[in-house]
Amino acid sequence: MKTYLVPVDFSEAAFNAADFAAQLSHQSDVTTIILMNAYYISPYETMFPDPNMMMLRQEEIEEEAVDRINQLEKLKRKLTKEVKEGVQIQVRLNRSHLLRAVVDVVVQDKADMVIIGSIGNSTVREGSINIGSHVIKISKASPVPVIVVPPDYRYQPIDEAVIACDFKKVKETIPMEVLHKLLGKQAIKLLVVNIDATDNTGGKDAEQQAEETALHVMLKGFHPRYYYINTPNIISGILDFANEHKAQMVIALPHTYSFLQSILHNSISQQLAKNSTVPVLLLK
For residue 10, what is the domain's CATH number?
3.40.50.620
d(CA 239, CA 236): 5
d(CA 76, CA 161): 29
Residues of the chain below pLDDT 50: 43-50, 53, 121-132, 203, 256-264, 266-270, 272-273
DSSP state string for 152-217: T-------EEEEE--GGG--SPP-HHHHHHHHTT---EEEEEEEESS--STT--HHHHHHTSHHHH
Q: Are residues 230 and 141 in the same domain?
A: no
- Whether 180 is covered by a domain: the verdict is yes
Question: Which stretch of DSSP H or E encloses residue 223?
Answer: none
Q: Are residues 145 and 17 in the same domain?
A: yes
Strand-pairing partners, residue 266, are none
d(CA 50, CA 75): 32
Given this model, what pLDDT does residue 104 score? 94
- Which of 123, 126, 120 has the alpha carbon at shortest distance from 51? 126
Q: Are residues 243 and 165 in the same domain?
A: yes
Domain end, chosen from 130, 149, 168, is at 149
Q: Are residues 214 and 249 in the same domain?
A: yes
Q: Are residues 15 and 135 in the same domain?
A: yes
Domain end, chosen from 92, 114, 149, is at 149
**Could you tell me the residue range of the domain that residue 135 belongs to?**
3-149
Q: At what angle do helices 234-244 and 266-275 cross, to 10 degrees?
A: 20
Q: Are residues 142 and 177 in the same domain?
A: no
Given this model, what pLDDT does residue 234 score? 73
Given this model, what pLDDT does residue 47 score? 45
- Whether 241 is covered by a domain: the verdict is yes
Name the DSSP class of 12.
Answer: H
d(CA 160, CA 250): 9
- Whether 233 is covered by a domain: the verdict is yes
Q: Are residues 203 and 139 in the same domain?
A: no
pTM over 0.85: no
Neighbours of 113 (CB within 10 A): 25
Find all residues with CB under 8 Å of 148, minimum gap 6, and list them: 116, 117, 118, 135, 139, 272, 273, 276, 279, 280, 281, 282
15 φψ region: left (φ > 0), alpha (ψ -120 to 50), beta (else): alpha
DSSP state string for 239-281: HHHHHHTT-SEEEE-TT-TTHHHHHTSHHHHHHHHHH--S-EE
Given this model, what pLDDT does residue 260 score? 44
Given this model, what pLDDT does residue 69 score? 95
- Whether 154 is covered by a domain: the verdict is no
Q: Are residues 229 and 188 in the same domain?
A: yes
On whether the CB atoms of residues 272 and 235 are closer than 8 A, the answer is yes
Phi/psi of residue 115, nearest 5 degrees: -120, 120
Domains in the chain, number: 2
Phi/psi of residue 151, nearest 5 degrees: -65, -30
Q: Are residues 208 and 109 in the same domain?
A: no
Given this model, what pLDDT does residue 96 score? 85
Given this model, what pLDDT does residue 196 score? 67
Q: Are residues 8 and 129 in the same domain?
A: yes
- Whether 64 is covered by a domain: the verdict is yes
- Whether 85 is covered by a domain: the verdict is yes
- Which of 269, 200, 275 has the alpha carbon at shortest distance from 236? 275
Residue 164 sits at the vertex; the CA angle it makes with 155 and 33, to the nearest 5 degrees, is 35
- Which of 237, 45, 7 has the alpha carbon at shortest distance from 139? 7
Q: Are residues 44 and 164 in the same domain?
A: no
d(CA 192, CA 197): 17
Domain end, chosen from 109, 124, 149, is at 149
Q: Are residues 86 and 167 in the same domain?
A: no
Given this model, what pLDDT does residue 102 score? 93
